[in-house]
A = this chain, B = another copy of it.
Amino acid sequence: MDKKVLNKMLRPKSVAVVGASATPGKIGYSVISNLLKDGYKGKIYPINPKESEILGVKCYAELKDVPGEIDSAVMCVPAKAMVEMTEECGKKGVKGLIVITSGFSEIGRKDLEDEIVNIAKRYGMRILGPNIVGSLSNSDKFNGSFCPSLPLPGKASLVSQSGALLIALAMATWTRKVGFDKLISIGNMADVDFADLIEWFNDDEDTSCVSLYIEGLKNGRRFIDAAKNSKKPIIALKSGVSAHGAAAAASHTGSLAGAAKVYGSAFKQACVIQASDLDNLFDRTLGLSSQPPMKGDNLLVLTNGGGVGVLATDAAERYGIPLKFAPEDVQAEMKKHMPEFGSAKNPVDMTGMAGNEWYYETVKYAISNKWTDGLVILYCETSITNPHEIAESIKRAIDDSGVKNKPVTVSFVGGDRSNEAIAWLNEHGIPAFFAPDVAVNVIAALREYAILQEQKNNIHVKPNEKAMKKSMEIIEAARKDGRTALTEIEAKAIFEAYGMPTTKIALAKTEEEAIAAAKKIGYPIVMKIVSPDILHKSDAGGVKVNIKDEAAAREAFNTIMKNAKAYKADANIHGIAVQEMAPWGTEVILGSINDPTFGPTLMFGLGGIFVEVLKDVTFRVSPVSSVEAMDMINEIKGAKILAGARGEAPRDRKALANAIVNYSSMILDLKDEIAESDANPFLVYAEGEGLKVADARIILKKK
């Protein structure tokens, strides 16, 4: 139902231009002019009470005067007229509004934006924008925008949060020969957001790959869900990743930019491929829109020049798909089409003597053999070969091989003739570039896409009802107390409820209670003051460790109490925590934030210098699958420590992955309650020996 509405909005059979103008230079004129110029075949209804016709098209004074149905309305009226006009659109039965008009949340008028969204909702209309350039579709010859022309036709579609960039990129598609079917300016995202469009593109036959220019998402979780379920590859250029840039992005679109690291993790979880800059967005879009994912790690590089071969080899390592030597039989076959001094290893160097036939035979064999998962073909222009003929040989070899499930990218280093061959290859669906580095970067994106699809977390985590109930009791009790910081004992009880082992701990109000608790827990023990008024327990002389027997425990209890009172006479003392003294283990940290964009988000890292000096941490948006948990464990720089570096036995990574999954459930279940939390240090023991939370902290959301 909703998709049909978007369909009518973005691929309309009839369009009204509300605020159409007969004055060249006005946006309301440009839209009419663009619709006509670019050959839109649907019905066009300019709305303007002062004109009878614009550019030869009959003009209507009001929407209700339009005789037929209106699928989509491009709004070019001033912001102050938008409330009335939205109401009129609703009454007329318009399906979707493409709101070019600016002057809403981007200048602080969120109220006005909400008002038109509410009106639209009442009538079942959807709103694109406001504050946009418009929407363009090549397959409908629909240029419902003030962008001067439709893009070069192609199989990718682009959604851009920056209007200015969308216009510039539309023009660049022609120069750079990267085609697009739809260009959609998404602006303030008052209603339709990235997730809506990603879902809509699933059924759009003319789109094979979705490119996004993102400044900031509003609902990160919906984005992840939509992207994860996308049938088409998605590639995103996220701007505002630097501290200074994030500030600029925030002022630019009024949306809150999340931390770059959280975005990076979220994109990974959403199976979204990232682009590093505009060039890379074009390059990777070209690859993802025309080539299949690369299903394994075996990349074969063919070349006629050693130099470009080495550059491609370096790039393969840089982009995470290092080359391996092909098996002997594959090498033997390829030896047939090269001189004695060629190399059948990887890169396969056919030497400068390689002509059309060697390229044809080698490419055909290279893509057909079982070992190869993907192919990068390099050509260094020589005076004895014709780049166009080499390009044709490559295309013919791929076609004749009949192989359609392995990706190929190409680099032709040379002058005008090579450039022409690159354009020809691109037109024929084989992504080709100047630099070998770029050809490798693009096939790396196709490999990454396959890996992300394999690792995709499709878990639907059920709330842990029992743990939630217990946690909520603790949380509510603390809230009744007027606290948002839970005590260590409370936090540990919640961690325990979610299946994370913690060091045993008990609150003792009296010396006798302490002795009883110590007996239960077993010596040696640790004792710590518990008081909301004493945060720095050690400074106050409020901590004693390695207490070995009852006599020492009695002495410690009294000393800590005395110290605490000396430190702060009027401190509210809950008692003394009697705690198991955990044996030494590798210190890790699990923590959580409630990210403004993505909600409950987990952090993992090694303790000590790794987190404090090296900031060696990784994030995932909750829920996290056990595969993702293991991925987190393996992707930190200090991963080797857990694998058992420096003669240590490997740590219990299975138990750690399990704890990560449980932690993720906890922060998801309690997302309306927990603002921040951490288990630090979380001690991880040798394989099979599990792990234990030694200290815990939970901060509640303010309510």
Residues of A at the B interface (CB closer than 8 Å) are 25, 30, 107, 146-148, 160-162, 164-165, 167-176, 213, 215, 237, 239-245, 248-249, 251-253, 276-279, 304-311, 313-318, 322-324, 341, 343, 345-347, 352, 380-384, 413-419, 434-438, 609, 612-614, 637-638, 640-641, 645-646
Contacts A307-B252, A310-B215, A313-B242; A279 near B164 (Cβ below 8 A): no
Q: Would A313 and B244 count as touching, CB distance under 8 A?
A: yes
Which 8 residue pairs of A and B lie closest in terms of their CB atoms, listed nearest first? A171-B415, A162-B307, A242-B317, A277-B437, A245-B313, A164-B305, A165-B307, A252-B306
Chain B residues within an 8 Å CB radius of A414 = 168, 171-172, 175
Report the separation of the CA atoms of residues A694 and B641 in the bound assembly, to the nearest whole angstrom.
25
Report the separation of the CA atoms of residues A308 and B244 in the bound assembly, to the nearest whole angstrom.
14
Chain B residues within an 8 Å CB radius of A435 = 277-279
Contacts A278-B413, A322-B244, A413-B169; A162 near B641 (Cβ below 8 A): no
Report the separation of the CA atoms of residues A237 and B324 in the bound assembly, to the nearest whole angstrom.
23
Query: Could you say which of A249, A304, A438 has the most chain B C-beta atoms within 10 Å of its C-beta?
Result: A249
21 contacts across the A-B interface (CB closer than 8 A)? A164-B307, A165-B380, A167-B380, A172-B418, A175-B414, A175-B416, A176-B434, A240-B310, A240-B313, A241-B314, A242-B313, A244-B322, A244-B323, A244-B346, A248-B313, A248-B347, A277-B435, A279-B438, A609-B645, A609-B646, A612-B646
Contacts A307-B162, A435-B277; A172 near B248 (Cβ below 8 A): no
Q: Would A437 and B148 count as touching, CB distance under 8 A?
A: no
Report the separation of the CA atoms of residues A324 and B309 in the bound assembly, to the nearest whole angstrom.
41
Q: Would B175 and A415 count as touching, CB distance under 8 A?
A: yes
Residue of B nearest to A341 (CB): B107
Chain B residues within an 8 Å CB radius of A308 = 164-165, 168
Report the separation of the CA atoms of residues A304 and B162 in the bound assembly, to the nearest whole angstrom.
12
Report the separation of the CA atoms of residues A162 and B161 in the bound assembly, to the nearest whole angstrom.
44
Q: Would B242 and A318 count as touching, CB distance under 8 A?
A: yes
Smallest CB–CB gap between A130 and chain B, Å?
15
Report the separation of the CA atoms of residues A167 and B387 in the bound assembly, to the nearest whole angstrom.
14
Smallest CB–CB gap between A280 and chain B, Å?
8
Residue of B nearest to A305 (CB): B164
Q: Would B613 and A165 count as touching, CB distance under 8 A?
A: no
Q: Would A415 and B383 count as touching, CB distance under 8 A?
A: no
Chain B residues within an 8 Å CB radius of A168 = 305, 308, 380-382, 413-415, 418
Q: Would B416 and A171 count as touching, CB distance under 8 A?
A: yes
Q: Would A638 and B612 count as touching, CB distance under 8 A?
A: no
Residue of B nearest to A250 (CB): B310
Residue of B nearest to A318 (CB): B242
Q: Would A164 and B380 count as touching, CB distance under 8 A?
A: yes
Residue of B nearest to A165 (CB): B307
Q: Would A436 and B638 count as touching, CB distance under 8 A?
A: no
Chain B residues within an 8 Å CB radius of A241 = 314, 317
B278, B310, B341: the one within 8 Å of A239 (CB) = B310
Chain B residues within an 8 Å CB radius of A645 = 609, 612-613
Q: Would A304 and B175 count as touching, CB distance under 8 A?
A: no
Query: Could you say which of A173, A341, A419, A609 has the most chain B C-beta atoms within 10 Å of its C-beta?
Result: A609
Chain B residues within an 8 Å CB radius of A237 = 311
Contacts A242-B317, A305-B165, A306-B164; A172 near B415 (Cβ below 8 A): yes
Residue of B nearest to A278 (CB): B435
Chain B residues within an 8 Å CB radius of A243 = 317, 322
Chain B residues within an 8 Å CB radius of A173 = 415
B165, B174, B352: the one within 8 Å of A415 (CB) = B174
Report the separation of the CA atoms of residues A176 and B415 in the bound assembly, to the nearest whole angstrom.
8
Contacts A172-B434, A383-B30, A638-B614; A277 near B413 (Cβ below 8 A): no
Chain B residues within an 8 Å CB radius of A162 = 305-307
Q: Would A244 and B317 count as touching, CB distance under 8 A?
A: yes
Q: Would B242 and A316 count as touching, CB distance under 8 A?
A: yes
Chain B residues within an 8 Å CB radius of A614 = 614, 637-638
Report the separation of the CA atoms of residues A383 and B168 in the bound assembly, to the nearest whole angstrom.
9
Residue of B nearest to A174 (CB): B415
Chain B residues within an 8 Å CB radius of A438 = 277, 279
Chain B residues within an 8 Å CB radius of A345 = 248
Report the separation of the CA atoms of residues A240 and B313 in the bound assembly, to the nearest whole angstrom.
8
Residue of B nearest to A420 (CB): B175
Report the separation of the CA atoms of residues A479 and B657 in the bound assembly, to the nearest whole angstrom.
55
Q: Would A646 and B613 count as touching, CB distance under 8 A?
A: yes
B248, B341, B638, B646: the one within 8 Å of A310 (CB) = B248
Report the separation of the CA atoms of residues A619 and B179 in the bound assembly, to the nearest whole angstrom.
46
Q: Would A343 and B251 count as touching, CB distance under 8 A?
A: yes
Smallest CB–CB gap between A30 and chain B, Å?
7
Residue of B nearest to A323 (CB): B244
Q: Would A167 and B107 count as touching, CB distance under 8 A?
A: no
Residue of B nearest to A412 (CB): B168
Report the separation of the CA atoms of residues A172 and B309 in the bound assembly, to the nearest whole angstrom.
18
Report the separation of the CA atoms of residues A308 and B237 in the bound assembly, to the nearest whole angstrom.
12
Report the separation of the CA atoms of residues A61 and B640 in the bound assembly, to the nearest whole angstrom.
70
Smallest CB–CB gap between A343 and chain B, Å?
7
Q: Would A306 and B248 count as touching, CB distance under 8 A?
A: yes
B304, B322, B637: the one within 8 Å of A242 (CB) = B322
Q: Would A314 and B239 count as touching, CB distance under 8 A?
A: yes
Report the separation of the CA atoms of residues A14 and B54 in the bound assembly, to the nearest whole angstrom.
73
Chain B residues within an 8 Å CB radius of A313 = 240, 242, 244-245, 248
In addition to A168-B382, A173-B415, 16 A-B residue pairs with Cβ atoms within 8 Å of each other are A164-B304, A175-B418, A237-B311, A239-B311, A244-B346, A245-B314, A245-B317, A248-B313, A248-B343, A248-B345, A252-B309, A277-B437, A277-B438, A278-B413, A278-B435, A609-B641
